[in-house]
Amino acid sequence: MQGEDFVLLEVNGASSEAAHIWDRGASIKDAFTTLFAQYRMLFEIGNLQRKAGHRVPSLRELFRAWRKEKALVKDYPSTD
């Protein structure tokens, strides 16, 4: 209650962006380097999952998931 001995932890999903790329001091090169490194990691994780026997979703399944997410976004709190 006194603001001592606590830790803030942020956990983001795979589609999240690293916050520092939006810093006005960050260069466009650094932003793309960070994003491409993130995408590379995601593709590597996906490839390992596929090799482990997990099924790759179809385009139809991906589209349905995207539509569901899009419908949920309207209920998210504003970030402005």
> Cα(36)–Cα(22) distance, rounded to whole angstroms?
15
Residue 54 has pLDDT above 80, yes or no: yes
Amino acid at 62: L
Residue 76 has pLDDT above 90, yes or no: no
Longest alpha-carbon distance in the chain: 51
> Cα(56)–Cα(30) distance, rounded to whole angstroms?
31
* Single pTM value for the model: 0.64
> Cα(24)–Cα(47) distance, rounded to whole angstroms?
34
Boundaries of every domain in the chain = 19-73
Question: Tens digits of per-residue pLDDT, 4-26?
Answer: 888 877 777 887 888 889 999 99
> Cα(70)–Cα(52) distance, rounded to whole angstroms?
30
